[in-house]
Structure 1
Amino acid sequence: MGSKPTSEENSAKGLPGNDSPTHITSKSPDLKESRAIYELDKSDGLHIMYVTILKSGSSKNKPVFSFSEMNNTSGRMPDNEADPQVEVIIQEGDETGPVKGGIGFNEKTANATLEIRGNTSRAANQKSYKIKLNNKAGLWQEHKILNLNKHAFELSRVRNKLSFDYLKLIPNMSSLRTHFVQLKVKDLTTTVPAKEFVDYGLYTDIEQPDKTFLKYHGLDPNGNLYKANNFLFQRYPDVLVEANDPRYNKSEFEKILKINASENHTKFLHMLDEVNDTSKNINDIVDTYFNRDNFLTWMATNILLDNTDTINQNYMLYSPSNSETWYFLPWDYDGGWDWYGQGPKETKLRASWGNGIANYWDSLLQRRFFKDPANVKQLNEKIEELSKIITKERTQSFLNSYHPIVTKFVNNAPDINTLPAGGISFFENEYKRLVNVPELKKKDYYKSLENPMPIFLGVPEIKDNVTTFYWDQSFDLQGDELSYDFQLSKDPQFTKIVAEQPGLKIVHHAVSGLTKGTYYWRVSIKDSKGNTQIPFDDYTDVSNNIYYGMLEYIVN
């Protein structure tokens, strides 16, 4: 952040002419997934699962951690401590109870464990759960782990399922099986054990990406499968190391990339070294270590479905054991389909750079790759290609099939209790709004291409009572000339300007004689056509108001 750009990053090129070749070719084979597994799913199906809490779990600092205590937590456990689990019996049934032939029927002892899942969703009143089946339970829907998502902050309840139902139709990409699940819970660990099951309402189960997933999707269970937790294709040489390296710390490694299959990291680290070697042509690197069409398909899908939270997380990297090729696989679209448009609270959380290529500019791979205008043109073509699959008519068809199930629950407790003001009317309006999202996001994407790319503000330096403010050099996809407008203020609203300088061609500015106090500074990037951009940085005040494109600066 705020580092000096490389010579490669400084080079801007003009857009190619119409006669430039843009056909997407990949030296590596396309992703070969067996899609027969999806034929087992029905978009309008509902599974009813009965869960009996048999025994309280334990955590590192607490010998007994009850189910009710788990549901009262609002964040991750401290010091990388594993989430506590409770032992449960899980049974599949119908509206009358567990049914013969279903998983866990007539079971009297635990056949699974249950724990809280998710990140921000832990702060919700209604939790999401991960249920791990033990060996005697076997598999349910060909997977061993049920990820039950409550979608507490996703007001349509269907963004994830809609996305993965679409991904089943998109070539050179995988999907994850999803199911609507009604969860009923009976807690026997309370002071007065429950006698009846309590309805916890509607959940969406999503398939766990692991070796079992690879096997049943016709992929290689002996290959590599990483889930990005905080990964921007940076090298992190002291953390991302071989498993036999004395420095290897799996828990630290997994803060960046969760290891879901093989723990042999050799070819992954080699690929990462190549991506970070800016002396080498990025097109050669992509064509050697990735499938270009898969990469562009993943990017285009995220843009059309507006899944912006895929910069450093919510995706997977997969490589078969007999291949050097890496494929992007999807994970979690709960924040897609214009999640930020749900209401005024959510709208304030979206920065102006959060559209299109600019949204990914902090990732080294995308930043290098899309500095070649021919690659931008290929992304445009991929977006047009997928727009023939992701249509308003098909979206409406999916939504129509889900609607009877979802409305059954949002009209009743406990799910109706999480709807905002307006209740069921709000839900219906939000639900209908999804139909137009891909078309609108395609328009936003093309508009965003005209803007300069976002940057990071650097660390100011003081010498002889002169403060010099630094920032990164921006980049323009059309090669337009750029300038920078600098401002320094005593308030984050910038009504008390202390210093300003428009039209800078350099990436620093000096201010003399600043007295003790708190300041706020920002840089606006402008191209020769008047298109603007702000930095990635933001400042949050004590009232949790977010101000994008600026930083606080304190003079002691």
Structure 2
Amino acid sequence: MDEAAILPQYKLFIRPIDLRELRRDIWIDDPIPAQLTIEGKRLDIDIAYRGSHIRDLAKKSYQVSFYKPKKFRGSKHIHLNAEFKDPSLIRNKLSFDFFAELGVLSPQSRHIFLNQNGKAEGVYLEIESVDENFLKRRNLPNGSIYYAVDGDANFSLMSDLDKETKKSLQLGYERIVGGPENDYFLHEFIFNINTLSKSEFEKEIQKYVDIDKYLRWVAGVIFTSNYDGFVHNYALYRNGESHLFEIIPWDYDATWGRDVNGKIMEPDYVPIDGFNTLTARILYVESFRKRYRLLLEGIMEQHFTVENMIPKVEKLTQLIRPFVSQDPYKKQDIDLFDRELSVITNYIEERRKYLYRKLAILD
């Protein structure tokens, strides 16, 4: 999904009776029928609100399912994110692109301008759905995909939510791709993370998770400072050929110096060694910890720099700025939008200082 010179125009048409049903209870997941015109092609779709706390915001985010045709550009579903709490509207895309640069599987995304029943709804981020078509587009082996739906996806035997022993090893996950027979491998993975002895762990854990890709994902979370990234905001993919798990990032708008409420986040808020049971156990192993430190140092030399990142920020902000001024939910905050370049620049500079100071704890 390469960015075009101007934003693609998406025109959404919902019958008034269906729109009233959609708005009647924002917490219901049942979709309603609608039509979506994308660059001149009219599509029959089902549409529903998406997200949790963001449903309560003035500018809604949507999940779109293609009905006729069943697929569009190889996708059954797409997500249209309002990015309402992010003053820049670019942090999610900036993060996904950054993860891809690090060699982590990551959704493609692009900004679009949405109109609903002839009325401007503003700038949205279209995000690729992480499903079987995500794998097909990348020529990846079939496998299973699980969404981390809440904080219980913490790789622990203990619930992150009620602090008690989990009643199920699948707590916190929803299977999106694959049959029930795949659940055994997820259960085995979680169980072994928590029960392998110190002497067994280094050798045995490599039979379950791709260590290099896991460390690259951890690094991505650390550099972007996604506070929820270690126990939420990801999908788990088990490669059907290697039989190894790897992680796909999701929901990265609360990053690059702003938290989930859009407030300034301190550069030391997310610790260099992260937090979840799997990360703790992996970084306890000296060989893995050394690999992680070298990885961080390499990324800080090549990728996580003002020189590398700020031109990307400038390109995205310049692309969408004319459309932000037409966004009924954001146009009054255009001055705040314009100041985000300095916010992200300052975050990168200060985060680098923090990480360099903390590298020693990885020795």
Distance 2:243 2:59 in 1: 43
Distance 2:49 2:3 in 1: 27
1:305–1:441 Cα contact (<8 Å) kept: no
Which deviates more, 370-379 or 394-403? 370-379
Distance 2:13 2:337 in 1: 31
Which protein has the larger Cα radius of gyration, Structure 1 or Structure 2? 1
For structure 2, the 5+ residue unaligned runs are: 158-164
User: In structure 2, what is the equivalent of residue 239 of structure 1?
Assistant: 168
Q: For residues 45 and 143 of structure 1, do their structure 2 counterparts lie closer, same or farther at Cα, with a shift above 3 Å needed? A: farther
Distance 2:8 2:335 in 1: 26
* Cα distance, 1:413 vs structure 2: 4.1
User: In structure 1, what is the equivalent of residue 89 of structure 2?
Assistant: 157
User: In structure 2, what is the equivalent of residue 380 of structure 1?
Assistant: 293
User: In structure 1, what is the equivalent of residue 161 of structure 2?
Assistant: none
1:201-249, Cα deviation, whole Å (9 max, x unpaired): 100011110111111121123x111121231112466323xxxxxxxxx
User: In structure 2, what is the equivalent of residue 402 of structure 1?
Assistant: 316
* Cα distance, 1:92 vs structure 2: 1.3
Distance 1:351 1:440 in 2: 6
* Cα distance, 1:410 vs structure 2: 2.5
- Matching of residue 428 in structure 1 with residue 338 in structure 2: yes
User: In structure 2, what is the equivalent of residue 18 of structure 1?
Assistant: none
1:85–1:114 Cα contact (<8 Å) kept: yes
- Matching of residue 208 in structure 1 with residue 140 in structure 2: no
Distance 1:401 1:432 in 2: 14
1:55–1:86 Cα contact (<8 Å) kept: no
User: In structure 1, what is the equivalent of residue 140 of structure 2?
Assistant: 219
* Cα distance, 1:125 vs structure 2: 1.0
- Matching of residue 441 in structure 1 with residue 327 in structure 2: no
Question: Given the two structures, how large is their TM-score scaled by the length of structure 1?
Answer: 0.58
Equivalent of 1:47, from 5, 8, 16? 8
* Cα distance, 1:288 vs structure 2: 2.1
- Matching of residue 177 in structure 1 with residue 108 in structure 2: yes
- Whichever residue aligns with residue 21 of structure 2, its letter is S
RMSD of Structure 2 on Structure 1 (CA): 2.7
User: In structure 2, what is the equivalent of residue 3 of structure 1?
Assistant: none
User: In structure 1, what is the equivalent of residue 329 of structure 2?
Assistant: 415
* Cα distance, 1:68 vs structure 2: 3.7
- Matching of residue 370 in structure 1 with residue 283 in structure 2: yes
Structural mapping, 1:60-71, within 5 Å: 66-70=21-25
- Matching of residue 336 in structure 1 with residue 255 in structure 2: yes
User: In structure 1, what is the equivalent of residue 304 of structure 2?
Assistant: 390
- Whichever residue aligns with residue 184 of structure 2, its letter is T
Structural mapping, 1:168-317, within 5 Å: 168-171=100-103, 173-186=104-117, 197-221=118-142, 223-229=143-149, 230=151, 231-235=153-157, 238-240=167-169, 253=170, 256-263=172-179, 264-280=182-198, 281-317=200-236
Distance 1:237 1:406 in 2: 45
Secondary structure at the counterpart of residue 177 of structure 2? coil
Distance 1:328 1:385 in 2: 21
Distance 2:177 2:98 in 1: 26
For structure 1, the 5+ residue unaligned runs are: 1-39, 58-63, 78-82, 94-98, 105-110, 187-196, 241-252, 451-475, 479-556
2:3–2:111 Cα contact (<8 Å) kept: no
Distance 2:32 2:350 in 1: 45
Equivalent of 1:92, from 8, 17, 38? 38
* Cα distance, 1:303 vs structure 2: 1.1
Distance 1:296 1:278 in 2: 19
* Cα distance, 1:286 vs structure 2: 2.8
* Cα distance, 1:147 vs structure 2: 0.5
Secondary structure at the counterpart of residue 225 of structure 2? coil
Percent same amino acid at aligned positions? 23
* Cα distance, 1:118 vs structure 2: 1.0
1:419-446, Cα deviation, whole Å (9 max, x unpaired): 5xxx322221123322343343232234
- Whichever residue aligns with residue 167 of structure 2, its letter is D
* Cα distance, 1:355 vs structure 2: 2.4
Q: For residues 55 and 286 of structure 1, do their structure 2 counterparts lie closer, same or farther at Cα, with a shift above 3 Å needed? A: farther
Distance 1:266 1:341 in 2: 34
1:353-411, Cα deviation, whole Å (9 max, x unpaired): 63221x41xx2111222223443332221112223133323322222322233211332
Q: For residues 445 and 308 of structure 1, do their structure 2 counterparts lie closer, same or farther at Cα, with a shift above 3 Å needed? A: farther
Q: Which has the higher strand share?
A: 1
Structural mapping, 1:95-114, within 5 Å: 99=40, 102-104=41-43, 111-114=44-47
2:267–2:350 Cα contact (<8 Å) kept: no
Q: Which has the higher helix share?
A: 2
Structural mapping, 1:458-537, within 5 Å: none
Which deviates more, 146-155 or 313-322? 313-322
Distance 1:228 1:441 in 2: 27
Aligned pairs, number: 350
* Cα distance, 1:103 vs structure 2: 4.1
Question: Given the two structures, how large is their TM-score scaled by the length of structure 2?
Answer: 0.86
Secondary structure at the counterpart of residue 355 of structure 1? coil
* Cα distance, 1:149 vs structure 2: 0.6
* Cα distance, 1:448 vs structure 2: 4.6
1:156-202, Cα deviation, whole Å (9 max, x unpaired): 1000111222233223x21211011111111xxxxxxxxxx111010
Secondary structure at the counterpart of residue 155 of structure 2? coil
